[in-house]
Structure 1
Amino acid sequence: MEPTADSQLEASTPSSTETAEDLALKLNAAIRDNNKKDVLELLEKGADVNSKAESGWTPLQSAVQADNEDLVRLLLDKGAYPHARKDNGGTAFTEAAIAGNVKILELLLDRGFNVDDHDDNGFTAFMEAAWHGREEALKFLYSKGANVNLRRAVSEEKAKLHKGGATALMDACQERHFSIVKTLVQEMGADVNICDNKDRNALIHALKGGCTKKRYESAVSIGHFLLDCGVDVNSKDECGKTALILAVEIRSPDLVKALLEKDKIDIDDADEEGNTALMVAVEENDYDMAKLLCEKGARTDVGNLIAIVNRNRALDMARLLRQYNTRFIPETLKDWEPNSKRWRDQLKKLYKIYRPMIGKLKTFQYIQQRIQNTSQGGIYLGLHDGTEVAVRISRSAEGDREKRFFEQCSKCEHLLKLFQSEKAGGYMYLCFPLWEKNLEEHLWEPEDQMDYKDALRMIFQAVRELHSLGFAHQDLHPSNFFIDLGGKIYLADFENKRQLIEGKKELVNSDLEALGRLVLYVLTGGKKPLQQVSMEDLAADSPDYREALDLVSSLVSHDERGLEGLSKHPYFWSKQTRFNFLKTVWNKIKDLSNRKTVFQAPNVTESFPYPSWTKEVDTYVLHIMKNPEKGNPYKYSNNVIDLLRFIRNLDEHPDRRISNRIGDHAEYFLKIFPALTIYVYNSLRQNPKYSHLADIQDPSL
């Protein structure tokens, strides 16, 4: 009978005066020495088969690392727990892949391992086999269902630092295992254009790293192979270096020639320091490479090349460059300060470095200049004729469609507008006014104060404007609302999920439901993810609590007023407008002979929330109001009609004694009767005969 996991992990009691720690250390040493006899003796003495040495290594993991199948079987038979993890999350299974031992891998798979199990750094056994060049193990794991294109999974903290995301193909390329690269691509269907979390594809991984002669030859071979497989030649490394620049750095003229034969290559693309491939060749004093690049049309009027060759005392290089009209360029770049606070450092860097211009646009499609990720590609910083912009890059045909849509938004106040556009090399560069943060980021920042009501007004107007253009958004996520330096909010659709409404009410209803969730998300300060927030998360002591609940309920239930009507909802009214509304209602119904029916119609379902309101107001104030200095005494009843009358009379006939007692009238009544406004509003709205009395809105709207 197989031992249970609990029994496997329990420490055995030593049978001698040696401590459990002593026996564990000796057991680990015996395994690393492949000394089966000592291993058996130590186990008989009571050494714990599941003890852990430094960094969490178990005897089983050490036996696997030693590539000793007999010891592995022995330890498993003695109760070793196969799924134990080292401090880094690694298991005996991943160690077996590193060793490349197929028999041990198969043995461990039979013990219930998931073939795609990974350690804390996201490494699977398949990735380890690719990294360490274990082709037989790689093929075995593939036959058992290993995910070839699985990207390295890392913690959220590491992902924020752009770590992880690499595939087995990238690992094989980085370690220059050419045969494994071919196997992965040709036999297993590995995708050559997947990028890691630093936006590097397999080609970039192949060209980075040390360059001994053997590694150099492998890198060049892998580079040519990937080019034949259609790899994207415009991917960059974490320093913004293109494959062309990296090929120049490893001094491979053949690979440089092969790259330059690709239509999409930009010979003058530069890294984060503004260095082009030619500038790198000149800096390295690589005459032949510089000559090749010059012959292929590399620009010689950027980067102050003559200053570089003078510093290197490279006379031959200077003569070569002057043949291609290179001139010394004095440094004249003036200081410049961007308007943006958040993107200041990146914009200043972009301003200073050389970048090939795209019409009037200067941009850098590189991770440190990226301000937002979308499923359609990144959004990058840019300078269009000196103006700070956000740049969306797409293929020409798709870009033309997007441009036409954004041009429709030009007269809308809260839809993101197109600033300018450029077209080059089969790509469209759409430039938008630069924003500081999206709504999600803004709510996460504790120092950022937001007027939630004002923010929601802008959000509602943005969605109304989009609907007026005939589109439903279908992705009303906080990350799609952008906030500029002045606090103005704009709605965008970079995910391209909008749909034409064309009479499809369900699309509008879907936007209303999403807007309801968004209202809750904003009012709760973004403390929970959008899909998890609920009405229970609203603060019940908020002065707008009842109105907010009603607004969300109306949105979710597809209220017949629609977004236009709900934009005039009492939630958006100021305190004074709510108070004036209550007074106005009494003025409009006071002369009705049947005014009690106003709040008793069949459609009015909610009961009056303050059936004992006379006990809730200040007794001194109530006494004064019952016995006015001018006029007849009046006894107020506990109904809504008399409460409205009380509010109106108190405010219209000011009494210094009352004002000194309760302060601001609107503040006082809305505090002690917070549910009154929405009750009166909904009662009137639901009564067909008197619904017109609810037609009031805050003048600020």
Structure 2
Amino acid sequence: MEPTAHRQQEASTPSSTETAEDLASKLNAAVRNNNKDDVLELLEKGADVNSKAESGWTPLQSAVQANEEDMVRLLLDKGACPRARKDNGGTAFTEAAITGNVNILELLLDCGLNINDHDDNGFTAFMEAAWYGNEEALKFLYSKGANVNLRRAVSEEKAKLHKGGATALMDACRRGYFSVVKTLIQEMGADVNICDNKDRNALIHALKEGCAKERYESAVSIGHFLLEHGVDVNSKNECGKTALILAVEMQSLDLVKAFLEKSEIDIDDADEEGNTALMVAVEKKNYNIAKLLCEKGARTDIGNLIAVANRNRAHDIARLLRQYHAKFVPETLEDWEPNSKCWKDQLKKLYKIYRPMIGKLKTFQYIQQRIQNTSQGGIYLGLHGGTEVAVRISRSTEGDKEKRFFEQCGNCEHLLKLFQFEKARGYTYLCFPLWEKNLEEHLQELEDQMDYKDALRMIFQAVRELHSLGFAHQDLHPRNFVIDLGGKIYLADFDNKRKLIEGKKEPVNSDLEALSRLVLYVLRGGRKPLQQVSTKDLAADSPDYKEALDLVSSLVSHDERGLEGLSKHPYFWSKQTRFNFLKSIWNKIKDLRNRKAVFQAPNATERFPYPSWTKEIDKDILSIMQNPGKGKSFKYNNNVTDLLRLIRNLDEHPNIRISNKIGDHADYFLKLFPELTIYVYNSLRQNPEYSHFADIQDPSL
């Protein structure tokens, strides 16, 4: 034996240590290679003849797909189950119909299979034979009792979406197999007027693909044949297009003539967009079909036919239409006011100009209609069924991927949601609720100061929602946050830079760091570029200064609280919540033996910022609180516990003289001691024994 051959034999021979999975993989490979010796050897070694490879393929199904009749016989002899199903519910029997091998079909049918059994999409072997144009297999299955007029059975969920219900005849018509269509009708009695779950009959399926050059001739032939056998010419497709309209779209004068000879046809029937056959002919610039329709009495007063002909420079069609009393009518549109303030003027222009419709979408890829630039193209204004939308245009493959992502955002409050979509000419048009401006534009053009705290609260929630879907954004730039007319902020991802988190910390930490810059950018009012902002830009006299610094620091350090915990940071607390928090602490610690220990966390680095607070507070207030009357007196010391005690006592036992002097207690103390809230909060949080004291619920969050 040659060395090479020896090594090949060793590679194909299972060892005693091989797992069942290893044996199964080798068995499927041997079947696909049609290596009978290896198959027998592997089966002898204990390989499972019904083991499954990727997508649920069994060795028997693989042998059938390869059209290896001897291998099929061998596997059946060795106990292969002909009823085993792939992940999509298909069996070796349905696979044999796709291959078209009658001998294999007969072998499998002799195993007692149900000839009308179907996969998860409702395809029977008979339907598969029709779909792939395997006429001999089709005849064999019919001779064995296959149901010719069986409609595709689908799940209840798919049926609600009007999927399924097609027959073998519809499949043969759609695929353009004229010979199969004739066999089904003439020899097997297929019903030409059964409709699928979208109410389309065989004629509609035949014309569905007729515009393609490779299908044109067969579609015309099948159309004539179906007419001869009594097909209903008034059936419509899912867009309301009749067979006549579809024939005009195909630009088949021959078929149009044949349809018009049917007395039952409605020449002026329109699709869901209001287009008649004549309108389509004029739009297609097909003079002969337009002339025939006019001669047969098509109405010329529906739609502005002359305007369409003129726009298409089809002057011969315009003259023809005038002969049949068509008139040019200046287009008048109803007064319409957009909801958007920012895009009002451009939306009005879009509403008035002519644009070819993409399904229900009207849009114009023009610089003046562009809302925003992205690395993957522009975002444009659009009107979808009259609703103002933002439109992103992508190649179909990428567009479908983005559509699936945005559909996941449907239940999120602050992630941009998909409103509708359309497809045309290899492109997907994703339509989103129209926003007014992005955050960058909003801040730079804002005259009055916005509620930064509320804006950042929405931004944090948006990022949390994205993380909850398993993605990190990786590009938290102000232009990726859009604001609607009501001031609500949404996070978008038009540049498709997001990454799957998959249990990794790095993508999340990257987002936290980006958020720290974004916080500074927003608090700076967008008056400095994102990459240049720093904590030095914060106003030190701001009532939220210390809280903002701490929040930014926590984000940069990838704080263990994560975004969920930092969304409850004291920065986001209302004024009253902060004051209530300070008041509540004394009640929680007053009965402790060592109150000072509460604010002495093992790893604490911050010192009490007001070591002489008794000198900073109004002397009259301190005097009144230390001498409440009735012979009572109490001395407040310069420590944090006594300051918290004073705040609590003053608010719980109000004194009219003090209230008249300082006004609102919360305002007074938070302005006098602006660093107190964050100091108390962090001191508690960093002390393992008392960290639960820092957990509060702010109703405003």
TM-score normalised per structure 1: 0.56
- List per-residue Cα deviations over 1:294-335 (Å, max 9, x = no partner): 56999x999957479999xx9977425558996533534211
**Residue in structure 2 matched with residue 664 of structure 1 by the alignment:** 664
For residues 324 and 667 of structure 1, the distance between their equivalents in structure 2, rounded to whole angstroms, comes to 82
Q: Which residue of 1 aligns with 2:467?
A: 467
Contact kept, 8 Å, 2:471 with 2:499, in 1: the verdict is yes
**Structural mapping, 1:35-54, within 5 Å:** none
- The code of the aligned residue for 2:428 comes to M
| Cα distance in 2 between the residues matched to 1:520 and 1:571 | 13
Q: Is the 1:442–1:448 contact (alpha carbons within 8 Å) kept by the matching residues of 2?
A: no
Cα shift at 1:588: 0.2
Aligned pairs (5 A) from 1:498-537: 498-537=498-537
Q: Contact 1:436/1:485 (CA < 8 Å) preserved in 2?
A: yes
Partner residue in 1 for 2:546: 546
Q: Distance in 2 between matches of 1:662 and 1:671?
A: 11
Asked whether the 8 Å contact 2:287–2:316 carries over to 1, the reply is no
Q: CA deviation at 1:697?
A: 3.1
Contact (CA 8 Å) 1:573, 1:697: kept in 2 or not? no
- Paired residue for 1:402? 402
| 8 A Cα contact 2:601 2:684, kept in partner | no
Name 1:648's counterpart in structure 2.
648
Q: In the aligned structure 2, how far is the partner of 1:611 from the partner of 1:315? A: 92
Give the aligned partner of residue 613 of structure 2.
613
SS in 1 for 2:576: helix
Aligned-residue offset at 1:594:
1.1
Deviations 1:575-607 (A, max 9, x none): 111011011011100000111111123122210
Query: Residues 317 and 297 (structure 1 numbering): CA distance in 2 closer, same or farther, change over 3 Å?
Result: closer
Q: Is the 8 A contact 2:421 2:429 kept in 1?
A: yes
Residues in 1 aligned to 2:301 and 2:666: alpha-carbon distance in whole angstroms: 70
Deviation at 1:684, TM superposition (A): 0.2
1:365-514 → structure 2 map (5 Å cutoff): 365-514=365-514
- Partners of 2:660 and 2:524 in 1: how far apart? 35
CA contact (8 A) 1:471 1:500 kept: yes
Q: Taking structure 1 as reference, are residues 309 and 562 closer, same or farther at Cα in structure 2, changes over 3 Å only?
A: closer
CA contact (8 A) 2:685 2:691 kept: yes
Q: How many Å separate the matches in 2 of 1:473 and 1:623?
A: 56
Name the aligned partner's letter for residue 551 of structure 2: L
1:169-189 deviation digits (Å, cap 9, x = unpaired): xxxxxxxxxxxxxxxxxxxxx
Return the alpha-carbon distance in structure 1 between the equivalents of residues 623 and 343 of structure 2: 62
CA distance in 1 between partners of 2:449 and 2:457 (Å):
16
| CA shift digits 1:456-487 (9 cap, x unpaired) | 01000000000000000000000000000000
> What amino acid sits opposite 1:662 in the alignment?
I
Secondary structure of residue in 2 paired with 1:435:
coil
Q: CA deviation at 1:556?
A: 0.5
Counterpart for residue 624 of structure 2: 624
Alignment of 1:90-169 (within 5 A): none
Contact 1:570–1:697 under 8 Å retained in 2: no
Matched letter for residue 495 of structure 1: D
| Cα pair 2:583 2:648 within 8 Å, conserved | yes
C-alpha separation in 2, matches of 1:515 and 1:315: 61
Query: 1:601 aligns to what?
Result: 601
How far apart are the structure 2 equivalents of 1:576 and 1:630? Answer: 32
User: Could you tell me which residue of structure 2 aligns to residue 94 of structure 1?
Assistant: none
Please list every run of 5 or more consecutive structure 1 residues that lacks an aligned counterpart in the other structure. 1-289
- Give the structure 2 partner of residue 573 of structure 1: 573
- Contact 2:283 2:308 survives alignment (8 Å): no
What's the counterpart of residue 633 of structure 2?
633
Question: Judging changes above 3 Å, is the alpha-carbon distance between structure 1 residues 590 and 554 closer, same or farther for their aligned structure 2 residues?
Answer: same
SS of 2:388 mapped into structure 1: strand
Partners in 2 of 1:634 and 1:612 — Cα distance?
A: 17
Aligned residues: CA RMSD: 2.7
**Cα 1:325–1:469, aligned 2, differ >3 Å: closer, same or farther?**
farther
Shift in alpha-carbon separation, 1:631–1:469, aligned structure 2, 3 A: farther
Are the structure 2 counterparts of residues 616 and 310 from structure 1 closer, same or farther at C-alpha, using a change threshold of 3 Å? closer
Deviations 1:106-155 (A, max 9, x none): xxxxxxxxxxxxxxxxxxxxxxxxxxxxxxxxxxxxxxxxxxxxxxxxxx
Identity %: 83
Partner residue in 2 for 1:564: 564
Q: Report the equivalent of 1:355.
A: 355
Q: How many Å separate the matches in 2 of 1:315 and 1:465?
A: 57
Q: CA deviation at 1:700?
A: 1.1
| Cα separation, 2, equivalents of 1:334 and 1:325 | 26
Cα 1:422–1:439 shift into 2, 3 Å: same
Partner of 1:691: 691
Pair 1:676-2:683 in alignment: no
Q: Distance in 2 between matches of 1:292 and 1:392?
A: 28
Q: CA deviation at 1:688?
A: 0.2
Task: Tell me how many residue pairs correspond in the alignment.
Answer: 410
Distance 1:490 1:330, change over 3 A: same
User: Structure 1 residues 326, 612: closer, same or farther in 2, change over 3 A?
Assistant: same
Deviations for 1:340-385, whole angstroms, at most 9, x for unmatched residues?
0010000001101111011111111111111000010000000000
For 2:506, give the aligned amino acid.
E
| CA shift digits 1:601-654 (9 cap, x unpaired) | 312221000000000000011110110025720111001011111111111110
Separation in structure 2 between the aligned mates of residue 472 and residue 310 of structure 1, nearest angstrom: 52
CA distance in 1, matches of 2:534, 2:680: 25
C-alpha distance in 1 between matches for 2:430 and 2:458 = 24
CA distance in 1, matches of 2:513, 2:700: 26
Query: Which residue does 2:154 correspond to in 1?
Result: none
Moved more, 526-535 or 622-631: 622-631
The AA in structure 1 aligned to 2:391 is V
- Asked if structure 2 preserves the Cα contact closer than 8 Å seen for 1:569 and 1:697, the reply is no
The one-letter code of the counterpart of 2:389 is: V
Please tell me the residue identity of whatever aligns with 2:378.
G
Which residue of structure 2 aligns with residue 138 of structure 1? none
Aligned equivalent of 1:121: none
Q: TM-score, normalised by structure 2?
A: 0.56
Residue segments in structure 2 that go unaligned for 5+ positions in a row? 1-281, 291-299
Q: How does 1:239-278 map to 2 (within 5 A)?
A: none
In the other structure, the counterpart of 1:225 is none
1:36 aligns with none
Say whether the 8 Å CA contact 1:302–1:354 is kept in structure 2: no
The 1:597/1:292 distance shift into structure 2, 3 A limit, reads: closer
In the alignment, which residue of structure 2 is the partner of 1:164? none
2:472 partner letter: A
- Code of the aligned partner of 1:567: S
Change over 3 Å in CA distance of 1:653–1:353 after alignment to 2? same
* CA-to-aligned-CA distance 1:238-281 (integer Å, 9 cap, x gap): xxxxxxxxxxxxxxxxxxxxxxxxxxxxxxxxxxxxxxxxxxxx
Task: Describe the shift of the 1:442–1:308 C-alpha distance in structure 2 as closer, same or farther (beyond 3 A).
Answer: closer
